[in-house]
Amino acid sequence: MSTMLRRISSATQRRPSTVPPPIPPVIHALVSQPGNTVAVQDIPFEDEVAPHQVIIHVRAVGLNPTDWKYALGDWGAPGFVVGCDAAGDVVRVGTDVHHLRVGDRAAGFTQGTTDAHNGAFAEYVRFDCAVVFRIPDLMKYDEAASLPMSLMTAAQALHMRFKLPVPNPPNPPAVNGPTILIWGGSTSVGTHAIQLARLAGADVLAAAYPSKAAFEALRELGVRECIDYQAKDAAHAIRHAAKARESTDGSPKKAGVQFALDCVCDERSTKACIDAIGRRGGVVATLLPVSEKIKRRRADVRVEFTLVFSDLGHPVTFANLPTATLPAMPDDRAHALAYVSTTLPALFQWQKGGGVGGAVRIPALKRMPGGLARIAEGLELMQRGEYGREKLVYSCPRARTRGASLLAAISPRSPASTAPLAEATVATPGAGSAIVGDENPANALERNPTTAVEDASAVTDGGSPTSATVDEEPMHASVAA
């Protein structure tokens, strides 16, 4: 190793700096505009934090359905910073924050497009520490940015609404718990819910888009049986699959499907979830509000709307709907804080050889080019439903660029958006090779700094990206997917 590389390697092994770096008073952010468009513009940003907050210098962001519905649809209003999920470097820590420190790599979420001065699709973002986790050493920023809302939504539904036990690494799970249905198993929330349910000892059934590749991927995550969610008799097939467990695995008689998580949330999917619940009744959790008529479909089935923004601990109005206003839920916030500070670090370390996230598999990623300036293209892509099982992510370079080139453009209906879109990389979920092939070779330095020097050559020496064809799952209506 050359003297220069030894110096770099030695320097990168130092502990994160505890000296807060300066934060500019004005930052670039993607802001919702009149006419259901978005644009990158300068906004003021305060570097002070409340005791429970952290500020992150954003290095990557992940897109969720709620982002385009607020920014390009009718859920939001103009003048607000867009975006929920982001990952980057901690630059400020409040006095009540104990699981993070300045210099840590971290990821989290906020309720995007509801604040004129804060949101994930910006150079800096302010997060409540209860929904921020430290990124493990082997995980890249864009991989981490794909997780916060979808993973925490799954955790909230399973552990807070269904009361399934929180995983207890390193004890291996035994399949002796209830049977749970995940409708929309190939969505991001669905794939995380499957993993967490299995880690909690549940028997998992999944309804998903009927393709061989999708079903094989779901079985690898721990699904016992996959059901075509397009089938007219899907609910009957699910009940039959649950009954098969009762009669063949030697376990005590179960009550069929006891819990169902609807990650699609159209009227048909919620009705099917209700009908699939076993004869003793159970609980269906939906990621969007449903009508009172649907809630009353079965007296023995409780239908509950679960919204991950309740983890933030304050009252939440969702999609400007008076019927979707939730009170402050301090228990949800307390659970989320314990989860990100204790449970997730253990899961990331557990079965570490299985991938960069340990027991938490990274979803298939579609790495989009262009950073903050081209996020609008990804939002419009999602709005059109032209994406499948992959999660859209953008890397955001550290260098700050001023001038008209950045401020020009950037709504999906502006002339700039007609420029050809560079080909995006689709990474295989959970594969170690997913670290190769980003549009920015410097991203090799995002992972564990102790290995960054040797890994950089794998990206800069002409290695081709590992990619996979991803079977499309029709656009779903949920908040995080």
What span, in angstroms and rounded, lies between the C-alpha atoms of 265 and 271? 9
Tokens of 273: 């979830």
Crossing angle for the helix pair 452-460 and 3-12, nearest 10 degrees? 120
Lowest mean pLDDT among 78-92, 113-127, 432-446: 432-446
What span, in angstroms and rounded, lies between the C-alpha atoms of 267 and 275? 12
Please report, as a single letter, which amino acid is at residue 302: R
Chain mean pLDDT for the chain = 81
**Other CB atoms within 10 Å distance of the CB of residue 271:** 17
Q: Tens digit of pLDDT for each residue in 123-136?
A: 999 999 999 999 99
What span, in angstroms and rounded, lies between the C-alpha atoms of 355 and 138? 9
Q: Tens digit of pLDDT for each residue in 263-282?
A: 999 999 999 999 999 999 99
Residue 335 forms part of a structural domain: no
Res. 463: pLDDT tops 50: no
**Pair 137, 188 in one domain:** no
**Pair 275, 379 in one domain:** no
> Which residues make Cβ contacts (< 8 Å) with residue 428, sequence separation at least 6?
364, 434, 466, 467, 468
Residue 182 forms part of a structural domain: yes
**In the structure, what pLDDT confidence band is assigned to residue 359 with cuts at 50, 70 and 90?**
confident
Res. 43: pLDDT tops 50: yes
**Pair 295, 166 in one domain:** yes
What average pLDDT does the segment 415-438 reach? Answer: 37
Res. 171: pLDDT tops 90: no
What span, in angstroms and rounded, lies between the C-alpha atoms of 177 and 201? 5
Tokens of 82: 């867009």
Task: Report the alpha-carbon angle 344-348-351, nearest 5.
Answer: 130
Residue 466 forms part of a structural domain: no
Tokens of 135: 């990124």
**Pair 160, 301 in one domain:** yes
What average pLDDT does the segment 327-348 reach? Answer: 95
Lowest mean pLDDT among 109-123, 147-161, 228-242, 350-364: 350-364
Res. 433: pLDDT tops 80: no
What span, in angstroms and rounded, lies between the C-alpha atoms of 189 and 197? 12
Res. 15: pLDDT tops 90: no
Residue 12 forms part of a structural domain: yes
Res. 473: pLDDT tops 90: no
* Model pLDDT, residue 39: 97
Q: Which residue has the higher pLDDT, 386 or 109?
A: 109
**Pair 131, 166 in one domain:** no
Q: Map the chain to HEC letters.
A: CCHHHHHHHHHHCCCCCCCCCCCCCEEEEEEEECCCEEEEEEEECCCCCCCCEEEEEEEEEECCHHHHHHHCCCCCCCCCECCCEEEEEEEEECCCCCCCCCCCEEEEECCCCCCCCCCCCECEEEEEHHHEEECCCCCCHHHHHCCHHHHHHHHHHHHHHCCCCCCCCCCCCCCCCCEEEEECCCCHHHHHHHHHHHHCCCEEEEEECCCHHHHHHHHHHCCCEEEECCCCCHHHHHHHHHHHHHHHCCCCCCCCEEEEEECCCCHHHHHHHHHHECCCCEEEEECCCCCHHHHCCCCCEEEEECCHHHHHCCCEECCCCHHHEECCCHHHHHHHHHHHHHHHHHHHHCCHHHCCCCCCCCCCEEEECCHHHHHHHHHHHHHCCCCCCCEEEEECCCCCCCCHHHHCCCCCCCHHHHCCCCCCEEECCCCHHHHCCCCCHHHHHHCCCCCHHHHHHHHHCCCCCCCCCCCCCCCCCCCCC
Q: Domain range spanning residue 180?
A: 151-306
- Where among 288, 306, 324 does a domain terminate? 306
Tokens of 158: 């399973």
Lowest mean pLDDT among 224-233, 343-352, 449-458: 449-458
Residue reference for tokens 């079977």: 471
Q: Tens digit of pLDDT for each residue in 62-99?
A: 999 999 999 999 999 999 999 999 999 999 999 999 99
Residues 204 and 198 sit within 8 Å (Cβ to Cβ): yes
φ/ψ (deg, to 5) at 33:
-125, 160
Q: Which residue has the higher pLDDT, 2 or 201?
A: 201
**Pair 118, 162 in one domain:** no
Residue 176 forms part of a structural domain: yes
**In the structure, what pLDDT confidence band is assigned to residue 457 with cuts at 50, 70 and 90?**
very low
* Model pLDDT, residue 318: 83
The separation between CA 121 and the C-alpha centre of its own chain, rounded to angstroms, equals 14
φ/ψ (deg, to 5) at 453:
-65, -45
**Pair 170, 288 in one domain:** yes
* Model pLDDT, residue 479: 64
Smallest CA-to-CA distance from 158 within 192, 134, 128 is with: 192
End-to-end, the C-alpha distance of the chain in Å comes to 44
**Other CB atoms within 10 Å distance of the CB of residue 321:** 11
Q: Which residue has the higher pLDDT, 448 or 455?
A: 448
**Pair 155, 104 in one domain:** no
Structural domain count, the chain: 2
CATH of the domain at 284: 3.40.50.720
Res. 477: pLDDT tops 70: no
Residue 322 forms part of a structural domain: no
* Model pLDDT, residue 459: 25
- Where among 283, 306, 329 does a domain terminate? 306
CATH of the domain at 133: 3.90.180.10
Please report, as a single letter, which amino acid is at residue 310: S
Residue reference for tokens 């009252």: 315
| Torsion sign, CA atoms 21, 129, 379, 195 | positive
The percent of residues above 70 in pLDDT, for the chain, comes to 74
Residue 234 forms part of a structural domain: yes
Distances in Å between the alpha carbon of 431 and those of 123, 192, 360, 365? 29, 16, 12, 11
**Pair 158, 302 in one domain:** yes
Residue 325 forms part of a structural domain: no
**Pair 424, 358 in one domain:** yes
**Pair 167, 232 in one domain:** yes
* Model pLDDT, residue 245: 72
Is the whole model's pTM more than 0.85, yes or no?
no
**Pair 172, 241 in one domain:** yes
| Torsion sign, CA atoms 21, 314, 197, 210 | negative
Q: Tens digit of pLDDT for each residue in 308-337?
A: 999 999 999 888 776 678 899 999 999 999
What average pLDDT does the segment 422-444 reach? Answer: 37
Residue reference for tokens 């300036």: 373
